[in-house]
């Protein structure tokens, strides 16, 4: 698989490959995304507008609830910096929340402990049963659960995990009347027009129903416990929180982030791939995505960072190719999956 | 006041660029979610587009199938709200 990743034709400016949806190259080998034909050209407007609106929202709601915001904290570098920003820059009273998916690096757990201690925030960890998580990853790997559009930015397995994080954080926010949910997504991972938005669970629920139905039929009714919110809780909720991605409003390189979080005691785990700083199933997730679609789920994000001059093309390729076989094999063994099973539902 | 045709043409251009889809592949009378053009986050992206392009904020109550159920419904919603 890695030879395929390395040998595929790529844009000469970014790292988008010939297998990426709707890509075209000009005579110099530059893709239509770099040439701005397919990009939303008003990203800076979105950032400027979000910065003003988010500050207003924080000023309006700060200090009026048990916590000002819940931070979805994976222990990775981006969510660590998000937590730091929330506490130190925006002066918010934070509840930090980690979803333990069963594949978090032990070093990442130590990072979480050190960082929440250094920043003086309350913290909770929620661990769904390991059997459930493995079932979720198996189904997400084998079946074509999600809209291909969703999967241009993220692997199916990561999307399933993030769905549980989103639902769990929303449940906590509704139960505790917390007005904001903060996450560590960067531009490239999410579009610039979703830097902040108010949750609309009812409509999301309707649009996600086919996905949940597929999971329920494959895994069982326990899917509801992890991926839905009870009617009682919804009825008792007066308003829905805003989801905000603080990192999207920061112009900062990865190295600068690492320097900023070093004093908190954060160190890079050695048992993760080049695209993750906390999760040991990420390489497997990338492997499944690449097998099915012919490109890495990190191409869009890394290419965005290159265009913003926050990462060099060489650094991006190094991250993309750093996908340790031992981690892929470990996940295959835990999930009891092999390549032939995954290839049955190949998309390209 | 913009015509419905202009609102629709601009919306289709936005959808094409934002969601990597050819305009000819968008069925204007069908749900954008059901036809696989957008996912649930796409709804937020469309609401943000409406705010930026047409100058009004879509409330949670307005974000429903009657208004967001297809391109034609979105065009009607934008047109009526602006007028």
| pLDDT, tens digit, 9 for 90 and up, residues A173-225 | 999 999 999 999 988 888 888 999 998 887 788 788 889 999 999 999 999 99
Q: Tell whether A208 lies on the interface with B, counting CB pairs under 8 A.
A: yes
Q: Which residue has the tokens 């996940």?
A: A331
Return residues 25-64 of B near A (CB < 8 Å).
Answer: 33, 36-45, 47-49, 52, 60, 63-64
Please say if the pLDDT value at position A2 is more than 60.
no
Q: What angle do CA A275, B41, A39 make, to 5 degrees?
A: 70
B3 CA to chain A: closest CA distance, Å?
24
List the structure tokens of B41: 């986050």
Q: B75: distance to nearest CA of chain A, Å?
A: 19
Find the CB nearest B20 among A22, A197, A206: A22
pLDDT band at A41 (very low <50, low <70, confident <90, very high): low
Q: Distance between CA A202 and CA B23 in Å, rounded?
A: 29
- Residue A148: predicted pLDDT: 82
A208/B68 CB distance under 8 A: no
A344–chain B nearest CA distance, Å: 21
In tens, the pLDDT along A295-330 reads 999 999 999 999 989 899 999 999 999 999 999 999
| pLDDT the model gives residue B35 | 87
Q: Check pLDDT > 60 for residue A3.
A: no
Alpha carbon distance A140, A136 (integer Å): 6
Domain assignments of chain B as residue spans, ordered by start: 4-82
Contact B45 A152 (CB under 8 A): no
The contacts of residue B83 (CB under 8 Å, 6+ apart) are: B1
Characterise A15 by phi-psi region: left (phi > 0), alpha (psi -120 to 50), beta (else).
Answer: alpha
What does the pLDDT read at residue A265?
98
Are A77 and A262 a contacting pair, CB within 8 Å? no
A37 pLDDT tier (thresholds 50, 70, 90): low
Evaluate whether A61 touches A39 at the Cβ level (below 8 Å).
Answer: no
Question: Looking at residue A194, what DSSP letter applies?
Answer: G
Q: How close A42 comes to chain B (CA, Å)?
A: 10
How does pLDDT run across A125-138, given as a tens digit for each residue?
999 999 999 999 99
The pLDDT value given to residue A42: 67
What pLDDT does residue A281 have?
Answer: 97
- Give the ipTM: 0.83
**Per-residue pLDDT averaged across A269-277, rounded?**
95
At the fourth CATH level, which superfamily is domain B4-82?
Answer: ACP-like (1.10.1200.10)
A122: DSSP letter:
E
d(CA A251, CA A221) in angstroms, rounded, equals: 43
Q: B40-71: per-residue pLDDT in tens?
A: 888 889 999 999 899 999 988 888 888 999 99
For residue A294, pLDDT over 80 is answered with yes
CB contact under 8 A, B64 and A46: no
Domains of chain A: residue spans and CATH: 39-282 (3.40.50.620)
Backbone dihedral angles phi then psi of residue A122, each to the nearest 5 degrees = -75, 150
Other CB atoms within a 10 A radius of the CB of residue A192 amount to 22
pLDDT at A39 over 60: no
Which residue from B33, B39, B60 is facing A200, i.e. has the nearest CB? Answer: B60
> Can you tell me the distance from the alpha carbon of A32 to that of A278, in angstroms, rounded to the nearest whole number?
33
Q: Which of A21, A150, A203 sits opposite B39 (nearest CB)?
A: A150
- Interacting residues of A49 by C-beta distance below 8 A, sequence separation 6+: B52
- Give the model's pLDDT for residue A232: 95
Cβ-Cβ contacts under 8 Å, A190 against chain B? 41
């Amino acid at each position: 698989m890695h030879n395929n990743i390395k040998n595929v034709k790529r844009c000469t400016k970014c790292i988008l490959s010939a297998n990426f949806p709707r890509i075209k190259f000009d005579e110099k080998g530059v893709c239509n995304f770099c040439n701005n034909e397919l990009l939303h050209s008003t990203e800076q407007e979105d950032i400027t507008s979000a910065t003003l609106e988010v500050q207003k929202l924080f000023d309006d709601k700060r200090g009026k609830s048990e916590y000002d915001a819940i931070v979805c904290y994976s222990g990775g570098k981006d969510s660590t910096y998000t937590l730091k920003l929330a506490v130190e820059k925006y002066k918010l009273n934070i509840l930090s929340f980690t979803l333990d998916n069963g594949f978090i690096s032990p070093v990442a757990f130590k990072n979480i402990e050190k960082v929440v201690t250094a920043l003086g925030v309350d913290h909770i960890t929620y661990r769904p049963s390991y059997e459930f998580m493995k079932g979720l990853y198996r189904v997400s790997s084998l079946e074509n659960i999600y809209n291909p559009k969703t999967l241009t930015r993220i692997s199916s397995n990561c999307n399933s995990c993030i769905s549980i994080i989103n639902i769990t954080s929303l449940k906590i926010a509704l139960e505790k009347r917390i007005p904001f949910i903060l996450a560590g997504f960067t531009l490239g991972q999410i579009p610039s027009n979703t830097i902040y938005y108010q949750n609309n669970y009812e409509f999301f629920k309707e649009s996600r129903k086919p996905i949940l139905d597929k999971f329920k039929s494959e895994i069982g009714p326990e899917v509801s416990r992890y991926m839905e919110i009870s009617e009682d809780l919804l009825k008792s909720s007066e308003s829905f929180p805003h989801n905000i991605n603080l990192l999207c409003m920061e112009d900062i390189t990865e190295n600068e982030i690492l320097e900023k979080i070093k004093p908190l005691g954060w160190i890079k785990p050695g048992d993760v791939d080049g695209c993750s700083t906390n999760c040991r199933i990420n390489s497997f997730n990338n492997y499944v995505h690449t097998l099915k679609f012919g490109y890495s789920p990190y191409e869009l994000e890394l290419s965005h960072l290159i265009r913003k001059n926050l990462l060099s093309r060489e650094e991006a390729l190094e991250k993309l190719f750093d996908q340790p076989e031992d981690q892929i094999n470990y996940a295959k063994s835990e999930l009891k999956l092999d390549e032939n099973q995954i290839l049955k539902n190949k998309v390209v | 006041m913009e015509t419905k045709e202009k609102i629709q043409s601009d919306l289709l251009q936005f959808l094409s660029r934002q969601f990597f889809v050819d305009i000819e592949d968008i069925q204007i009378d069908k749900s954008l979610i059901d036809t696989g053009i957008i996912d649930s986050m796409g709804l937020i992206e469309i609401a943000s587009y409406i705010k930026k392009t047409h100058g009004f904020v879509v409330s949670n109550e307005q974000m429903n199938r009657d208004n967001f159920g297809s391109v034609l419904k979105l065009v009607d919603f934008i047109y009526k709200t602006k007028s």
